[in-house]
Structure 1
Amino acid sequence: MRGYFLVSKNRTPAVPVPPARQSKVKSPVEVKRAGAPRRLISTALPVFWLLFAINTVNFFDRFLAVAVAPTLKNVFHLTDGNIGALSSAFILIYTLSALPLGLLADRVSRAHVVSIGVAIWSVASGATGLATGLPLLFVSRAAVGIGEASYYPAGTALLSAYYSLERRARIVSRWASGQLVGVALAFGVAAGLSALLGPTVGWRVAFLISAIPGFILAVLMWFVANSPMQAPAESSSYAAKVNQELKGHQRLFPLFIQGDKPVLAGFITYLRTQLWPRVRLAAHDLWHILREVARIRTVWVVSILQALSFIVITPAVTFLPIYLRSTTGPFHLTETLTDAIAGLVIIVGGLTGQISGGNVADWLGKRIQGGRILTATVGFGLAVPAYALMLLTHSLVLFALFGILAVLAINLPIGPVLACAQDVTPTAIRATALALTLLVGHLCGDVWSPWAVGMVSTALGEHVSTSLLIFGAPALTLAAIVGFFGVRVYTAEIRPDSDSNDAVTAVH
């Protein structure tokens, strides 16, 4: 007769429920779902385009500082070292914020984490337009880093929840191409407002305008469901097993539980008997989850590849406009022409590289084991000569040509590498895994490299092209070597066990 009675909370005698009515009785979970707020956006395509738009605004806000860097250098009398330190400050705060926000995103609604983060960075980006000196620029850009740190782990994990393993590299690459749209908007808006309002006013108006779309997208993001009604299967039996094990560790740092109302008189007792056990429980949860993430060797391969690519990408995009306008360089371009050339190189090369990288990786992955990592390896290898020739030539036409080829090759691995990190990671800890790769990648990559490139450039008499070559060429070469050996690691971890009924066919 189990399940035939409903028992009231005051332990009064059970009331029998007729069999005809049992199907109408809702379980506590069903009652909770019935009372939960309805998410208006819960299908893959609208979620993709919303996240694409947020990614676009993300890089629009971020690269406005790059597009107006020559103006900031003149207005505030900055050196290349100062510009590099400004970029490093943003990356440092962004990196240190990513891991705790990734852990948070695996415990609460990822859509809500993204929504709040977008609102924060929009406020901070608008505040950048009010800066009156280097200290305020540091503070505002650091605050942008805090907001943007919430987006990468939570947003990428949310996107992966809506798409299966077979399509993930293509989807992530197309989503990542929003970065290039944002970069194009940053250079276009900066150039347009500078021409219309003058350089000393135009850059301020650009930052103030940048806050508006962020607020709109933050509101829309709040109504996105954390996963579709039918989520894609895990990529391996290991991932399914870990998801099951982690169900007991998905608490939101259980320090606060409804019904606890400590008063001053019993505060010490509360700390000893209630709060401290929960702190220990939260620490145990945190340790267990980080241990599971750290056991995934592909996560470390991805972290190293990202670190090496960040050593190249962030300093290059930071100093590219300065190099084109520099009096010590070969080109001496105007502000408008600088934005046009820089935008052409970054947009054409980056967009082509990111979209083709995902398509090639998914195609190659069906034919060769480890095809996704192999795609990234080829990209890094092709980037080495193109990057060197871009910085060594004194012809503007050749600079644009080799620049497009270099940016294309460097962006080729972005989608495949991100997809690899998602492929081998259980759904329950994807945001945490991405946050860890972000933390390691940025700490070892571009937290220090823009500052270092800027300081070496200043020491060489503001010759930034030489400094970029000193740091960039070895990093790209090492990335190609790491990718070559990483193929075997990824292949071993993505292959599902033969006895798993839950796993889908792996894309190598």
Structure 2
Amino acid sequence: MADHETIPATPPALPPETLPDDLPGMGYRAYFLLIMLLLSASEIGERYMLVVMVEPIRHEFGLSDFAISMIKDLAITVVYLLVVIPVGRLSDRGSKRKIVAVSAVIWSTAVLLCGTAKGFWTLLIGRAGIGMGEGAFTPPSQSWIADLFPIKQRGTALSIFLLGTSLGTFLGPALGGWLTHEYGWRAALMFASIPGFILAPLVWFTLRDPRPGLADGIAATKSVALPFGQTIRELLAIRTLPPLILAAALNALLTLGLVSWAPAFMERSHGVPANVAGMQLGLALLAGSAIGHTLGGPLADFLGRRDLRWYPWIIALGGAVSASIGWFILTGPSSSVFPLFGLTLLSGGLSASPLMAMVTGLVPSRSRGTAVALLMVTIQVVGLGGGPVFVGWLSDMLHPHYGEASLGMAMRWVLLAGVPSTLLAYQASRTCRHDFAAAGGWGGAPHKTLAAVH
């Protein structure tokens, strides 16, 4: 599509035979978003709580940085990868409500198991269970939001949902550091398991499943899921999607490679105790990610009505800015570290809602869960599997030469991910207007089937 072409801001009226059922009222949808926000906060908080427990666990069990990275990140990543695609497919065909409720029970039980750990293997299994719960939660939650909010409101709705991530990134390190200092890391993990057990029955008994594509006016006959292989081919044929997903994954590698090791970096390089680092990091991440997540969706919706390329442009800017800030985090004085971490999360938060809005808006409603799962698999492999684990491995390799400063040296290498992430997001901007139009969400024709395309 030529650069001077524009996409209509509002889609044409649907013919009578494809009119959707009535959307639930705004009161119900606000309550739904509140529950999703709290679930997201519980999930993220339990994951990030362990970052302030690295040093006590490392010393108690005599573990290397690589072993800690296996517990902290790799165990979650591997199981997440095994779970997220099948659950994404299941959420396209079955009850999102039931999947979300069960996922909360799974990750809360796994956190309890971590709290009883007596060694490396128990912690590893518990963290794997958290990965199972997270993998089961992500696809249905995001596709559920897409089913209830039309595309012009979706970025804003996803911003509200992502405030749970901001809350979790604060409560995890902040409360985790305080509870660990006062009661020990095992008791801290046991306290962390409580919210999920409370929220799961609220999801099961007070929320209800919408029809896929309801908010977009997709007829029920159009939302029937295709076979898995055909679905993947259909998704990868959307030219904007592969570079967009890879850009997001590289941004995650950069951010998680820094944040995941931040308290340990502060303790080793600047002598800041874990409980102090956890509180300061939590406050910085809360402020940065909350502002970024709050502004990202509405900003993208506002700018996107004028030029749809702003969605990937915001993602491109996020990678470039995060890499630049990361250099100053690792080379500047200790007094600037936490404010700069807040700016890093602000930059990443701005791009999160546009990313999710693009993924759910570019793909057919019948395969949104699978598309979200594909996105998250790539982020997990490249971001969590590549960032924190790579930093832990490289820190061990550099330790004989640099000593405790090896961690900071290893963290510098992940900053290089900002270059390809920016280029890939720019590539996605070159095709996004055509692909949005093909998806039908902004006034174009609906997606064709593979048979029609090929």
TM-score tier (shorter):
0.7 to 0.9
Q: In 2, distance between residues paired with 1:387 and 1:505? A: 40
1:381 corresponds in structure 2 to 320
2:248 corresponds in structure 1 to 306
Q: In 1, distance between residues paired with 2:152 and 2:64? A: 48
Structure 1: where are the runs of 5+ without partners? 1-38, 235-239, 251-284
1:460 aligns with 2:445: no
1:121 corresponds in structure 2 to 107
Extract structure 1 runs of 4+ deviating beyond 4 A: 39-42, 243-246, 503-506
1:421 Cα deviation from its structure 2 partner:
0.1
Q: In 2, distance between residues paired with 1:504 and 1:414? A: 20
1:454 Cα deviation from its structure 2 partner:
0.6
1:221 corresponds in structure 2 to 203
Letter of the 1:399 partner, please give it.
V
Q: In 2, distance between residues paired with 1:41 and 1:72? A: 46
Aligned length: 414
1:228 Cα deviation from its structure 2 partner:
7.1
1:291 Cα deviation from its structure 2 partner:
2.5
1:504 Cα deviation from its structure 2 partner:
5.3
1:340 corresponds in structure 2 to 279
1:139 Cα deviation from its structure 2 partner:
0.6
1:421 corresponds in structure 2 to 359
1:255 corresponds in structure 2 to none
Q: In 2, distance between residues paired with 1:322 and 1:378? A: 28
1:301 Cα deviation from its structure 2 partner:
2.6
Rg larger in structure = 1
Where does 1:151-162 land on structure 2 (aligned, <5 Å)? 151-162=137-148
Match of 2:310 among 351, 367, 371: 371
Q: In 2, distance between residues paired with 1:42 and 1:351? A: 23
1:212 Cα deviation from its structure 2 partner:
1.8
1:183 Cα deviation from its structure 2 partner:
1.9
Match of 1:484 among 426, 429, 436: 426
1:186 aligns with 2:172: yes
1:121 Cα deviation from its structure 2 partner:
0.9
Q: In 2, distance between residues paired with 1:396 and 1:286? A: 50
Kept in 2, the 8 Å contact 1:172–1:419? The answer is yes
Kept in 1, the 8 Å contact 2:263–2:278? The answer is yes
Match of 1:233 among 203, 212, 216: 216
2:386 corresponds in structure 1 to 448
1:427 Cα deviation from its structure 2 partner:
1.5
1:297 Cα deviation from its structure 2 partner:
2.7
Q: In 1, distance between residues paired with 2:186 and 2:273? A: 20
1:76 corresponds in structure 2 to 61
2:75 corresponds in structure 1 to 89
Match of 2:339 among 394, 401, 404: 401
Moved more, 483-492 or 339-348: 339-348
1:15 corresponds in structure 2 to none
1:168 aligns with 2:154: yes
Match of 2:375 among 430, 437, 445: 437
1:440 Cα deviation from its structure 2 partner:
2.4
Where does 1:126-137 land on structure 2 (aligned, <5 Å)? 126-137=112-123
Residues 198-246 of structure 1, C-alpha deviations (whole Å, 9 max, x = no match): xxxx211121122221112111111321117993125xxxxx59x7455
- Specify whether residues 381 and 434 from structure 1 end up closer, same or farther in structure 2 by C-alpha distance, changes over 3 A only: same
1:43 Cα deviation from its structure 2 partner:
2.7
**Percent of pairs with identical residues:** 22
Match of 1:57 among 23, 38, 42: 42
Q: In 2, distance between residues paired with 1:41 and 1:94? A: 33
1:168 Cα deviation from its structure 2 partner:
0.9
Kept in 2, the 8 Å contact 1:41–1:225? The answer is no
Match of 1:286 among 228, 232, 247: 228
Moved more, 118-127 or 66-75: 66-75
Aligned partner of residue 296 in structure 1, secondary structure:
coil
Q: In 1, distance between residues paired with 2:166 and 2:59? A: 26
Q: In 2, distance between residues paired with 1:351 and 1:42? A: 23
Kept in 2, the 8 Å contact 1:88–1:448? The answer is no
Q: In 2, distance between residues paired with 1:286 and 1:246? A: 14
- Specify whether residues 390 and 397 from structure 1 end up closer, same or farther in structure 2 by C-alpha distance, changes over 3 A only: same
TM score, norm. by length of structure 1: 0.77
1:308 Cα deviation from its structure 2 partner:
0.2
Structure 2: where are the runs of 5+ without partners? 1-23, 445-454
- Specify whether residues 189 and 441 from structure 1 end up closer, same or farther in structure 2 by C-alpha distance, changes over 3 A only: closer
Kept in 2, the 8 Å contact 1:360–1:375? The answer is no
Residues 415-450 of structure 1, C-alpha deviations (whole Å, 9 max, x = no match): 111110011112211101111111223223322332
1:41 Cα deviation from its structure 2 partner:
12
1:352 corresponds in structure 2 to 291
Letter of the 1:172 partner, please give it.
L
1:286 Cα deviation from its structure 2 partner:
2.4
Q: In 2, distance between residues paired with 1:367 and 1:43? A: 30
Q: In 2, distance between residues paired with 1:402 and 1:287? A: 43
Q: Which has the higher helix share?
A: 2
Kept in 2, the 8 Å contact 1:299–1:437? The answer is no
Q: In 2, distance between residues paired with 1:216 and 1:196? A: 24
Match of 1:148 among 130, 134, 137: 134
Letter of the 1:161 partner, please give it.
D
